[in-house]
Structure 1
Amino acid sequence: MKKITKVYTRRGDEGKTSLVGGQRVSKASIRLESYGTVDELSSHLGLLAALLPEGHDKDMVERIQNNLFNVCTNLATDQDQTPLYPSAYLPEGEIERVEQEVDAIMEMLPEKQGFVLPGGTKEAAQAHVCRTVCRRAERRIVELAANATVSPEVLQYVNRLSDYLFVLAKKLNFIAGHSEKLWQNACD
């Protein structure tokens, strides 16, 4: 891997940046907003991983962070002008892996009715923050896809990921013995 010797380039000082392929675009573009939000999600996942003990859940969160680099590379490529690099693709089977994780967690959780208030343990609360950032990333990607080519697996992965983060938050509260609080509709 090539060593990065400088963090700054001065090429972005006027509000533009380069995509994969070299095209210059505004830093306010929906493309940058989409992969910037995915990058933000990865940072929040890093905090979640730091809160989790060593084990399967931490490994899964770190695996997702790695996959999000592929997602960012995909989104940072204008596919109408530049072919995707191999690093822009998710590894084979990652969408199915997330689905299997969701199914496995759902099997262990008790059934509950109602909307869950985000919170509980620090770990679960952070998983909920990750979930909401993930949903925002998905909205940005959908907006990008309305005007540009976006790989379908990117949307599928991010959609499944928000489901995973929701059930992970529930699992983290459950294994800690922390009861979830349900929404109390004041209008009822």
Structure 2
Amino acid sequence: MGKRLTKIYTRTGDGGETGLGDGSRVPKTHARVGAMGDIDELNAHLGLVSEHLKSTAVEALTDLAPFLDRLQHRIFDLGGEVSIPGFQLIHDHHVDRIETELDQMNNELAPLENFIIPGGSVLIAQCHVARSVCRRAERSLIQLGESDTVNPPGLRFLNRLSDFLFVLARYCALKTEQPEHLWQKDDEPSAG
């Protein structure tokens, strides 16, 4: 196990730089730090989704919470991977596992006939928030990859995770018997 933090503040970042996992220092505006922050934010939102799942009275949803808890550990791994250039913790089998869970839920859903507007319940809306933050984390990692090396399975992991979260939102609507909020065309005549 690595170093244990005994002191939370070090004052070494007060000048606008931060330390990476390999000991190097970079500006806090560096693309790598941005990607790490977006991945961290994603993990926080996924934690909210997991806690909402645990608090439902629907067994099919509470049964998914342990998988989301495991995903949080893998997201933490991805953040560690990004903080240490050249390090790899996310592999294709992690992506495969997300696909398996996604497919199982999707098999129970009706075909999608229109765009979905986030909402219906706090749980469903939180799934969509996590999904949109996941997309941002993916874009941040792609941006980092334009100037530095990133692990391709990590990119696939985020891409598939955002798909998973979209399907999870729909699955939560199904299992909690909430109607999906479908996009509606504006029927009002335009002004002017």
- TM-score, normalised on structure 1? 0.91
Give CA deviations for 1:111-170 in whole Å, capped at 9, x if unaligned: 230100011121111010000000000111110001100000000000000000000000
Quick one: distance in 1 between partners of 2:18 and 2:122?
36
Quick one: distance in 2 between partners of 1:139 and 1:108?
30
| Paired residues of 1:121 and 1:172 also in contact (CA < 8 A) | no
Identity among equivalent pairs (%): 38
Quick one: distance in 1 between partners of 2:187 and 2:22?
54
How far off its partner does 1:56 sit? 2.5
How far off its partner does 1:29 sit? 0.8
- TM-score, normalised on structure 2? 0.89
For 2:124, the equivalent position in structure 1 comes to 124
| Paired residues of 1:138 and 1:158 also in contact (CA < 8 A) | yes
Quick one: distance in 2 between partners of 1:38 and 1:11?
22
Unaligned runs of 5+ in 2: 56-61
For 1:66, the equivalent position in structure 2 comes to 73
Give CA deviations for 1:35-80 in whole Å, capped at 9, x if unaligned: 110000000111111111273211111111100111001111223x
SS of equivalent to 2:26: strand
For 1:177, the equivalent position in structure 2 comes to 177
The equivalences for 1:27-176 within 5 A come to 27-53=28-54, 55-79=62-86, 84=87, 88-90=88-90, 93-176=93-176
Quick one: distance in 2 between partners of 1:91 and 1:146?
21
Quick one: distance in 1 between partners of 2:16 and 2:114?
45
Unaligned runs of 5+ in 1: none
Pairs aligned (count): 181
Greater Cα offset, 159-168 or 14-23: 14-23
Quick one: distance in 1 between partners of 2:42 and 2:11?
26
Quick one: distance in 2 between partners of 1:18 and 1:5?
16
How far off its partner does 1:23 sit? 1.1
- What amino acid maps onto 2:101 in structure 1? E
